[in-house]
Amino acid sequence: MSFDAQNLTPAASLNRALIVDLPGFALEDRVKQKTGFDLLSQDDLNHDLQQEAASLFFTDKVPKRLSNRFGDYFQDARTHDMALALGQRYGRDLGYLLLMLKRGDPISRTARPDWDDSYWAHWANIQQVWLGGGLMQGPLGQIAAEAAQSVLAKSGQMDYTVSLSPYTTMVSLPLMGAARYAPPEVRRILVVDCGGSWIKSGIAVYEAGELIQIEDEQYEPANCGSGSADPVQVQAFANYLVAVISRARQRTQTFDPLIICTIANYVKDGQVVERGCYGHLRLITDHLQTYLSKRISSNSNQDVVVKLIHDGTAAAAVHAGAVQTVVLTLGTAIGIGFPPAVDKMRAVSSQFMVVHH
C-alpha cells in the first residue's frame, strides 16, 4: 500500500525501523541492527539511566516520568556529566535514525520490505523535524535535538533541521493538536490524550475562532501494564479507560457533546488497528469510537460523541500547514505524524497558554 501521510497505518511506524548500516558514514557499532524502539523508547533510556545512576550514588529505580528525573540528574553537579553524555547519545541515535530515513540506502530498503518507494520518497523530501513527547519536555529535549542535528550536519544534510516544537514544554502535543480538530462553532471542549504512560485531559477554550488556551490539564496513569490480550484484562482496561474519561468530563463541567480523544494506536474509521493495550480493545468491540461514546454517555446521563484520532497525527496537527515536515513524539515509544493542511483546522492564538487551576 502506498504511503498516505494523513491516513497512517502501522506500516508507517518508526519503532520497527531497523538501522542496519549507513555506508560511508561512521556509524557507531552499538547502533547497528537496532530498531527505533530499541534506541529511543522510554524503557531503553530508563535502563541506561538506572545502570549509570547505580554506579554513582542513586539506587532507586528511575520512574516513568523520566524527563523529570533526568532534569534532576542534569542539574546535580555529581551526575551532570553522566546525564549530558546519555542525553547526547540518545540524540545521536535519533540522528542516525533520521539519517537512515533521509538517505534510503539500498541496505535500509532491503531491511524494510513493507515499504514501497512512496515511503522512502516522502522521507527523502522531509526538511523539518519537530520534536515533542514526555521525554522532550525537560533538558533532555534540547540536548537530544542538538546532538541529532550534529549527526545530520556531519553527514552533509544541511537542509534537514531537528528542533523542539515551541509548544513541547507547555503542553502535550497530541492534546493541543486534538483541540485544533474542534468544529468551528465550539467554544469549550474536552480533549483527551491516551498515551502509553499517561492519560492526559484538559479543556480547550476558543475565542474569536482561535484556540487561546487549554485549562486544567490533568494526568492519570494509563495502567497499560503488559498490554495483555487476555479478555478479562482487556475488559478491565476498557472499564478503566471509560472511568478516566468520564471523570475528566465530570471534573471539567464541560457539556459540549463532543470529546476529541487521541490514542496511542493507529485508527481507521473509528477503530484501533494495532496491538498493545489500546489495540487489544478491538477484542471486545468492533468499533471503539462507538463503544466509548455509548459507555461515557451512560456515565454522563447525556448523549456524548467520542472522536478518536491517532496520537501522532494529532500531534502533527499542532503544526498544520507546514510542508516537508514530520512531528515525532518521544516517550513510551516513537509517535509519528505529518502536518495536515491548515484549512478546516482551528487557528492557534499567538497568545496561546496553558492554564492550571
On the question of pLDDT at 63 being above 70, the answer is no
On the question of pLDDT at 357 being above 50, the answer is yes
Q: State the pLDDT confidence band at 50, using cuts at 50, 70 and 90.
A: low
Residue type at 56?
Answer: L
Residues 107, 113: Cα–Cα separation, whole Å: 11
On the question of pLDDT at 340 being above 60, the answer is yes
Residues 218, 356: Cα–Cα separation, whole Å: 9
pTM: 0.92
pLDDT tens per residue, range 245-259 = 999 998 776 668 999
What is the pLDDT at residue 344?
82
- Of 335, 202, 301, the C-alpha closest to 260 is 202
Q: State the pLDDT confidence band at 235, using cuts at 50, 70 and 90.
A: very high
Residues forming a β-bridge with 199:
194, 220
Residues 312, 228: Cα–Cα separation, whole Å: 23
Residues forming a β-bridge with 132:
329
pLDDT tens per residue, range 298-339 = 998 889 999 999 999 999 999 999 999 999 999 889 999 999
On the question of pLDDT at 109 being above 90, the answer is yes
Q: State the pLDDT confidence band at 64, using cuts at 50, 70 and 90.
A: very low
Q: Coil, strand, or helix at residue 189?
A: strand
What is the pLDDT at residue 54?
56
Lowest-confidence segment of 43-47, 59-63, 165-169, 321-325 by average pLDDT? 59-63
On the question of pLDDT at 215 being above 50, the answer is yes
What is the pLDDT at residue 226?
63
> At which residue does the C-alpha cell 493507529 appear?
266
On the question of pLDDT at 65 being above 80, the answer is no
Averaged pLDDT of the chain? 90
Q: Coil, strand, or helix at residue 255?
A: coil
Helix 80-103 to helix 139-154 angle (10° resolution) is 50
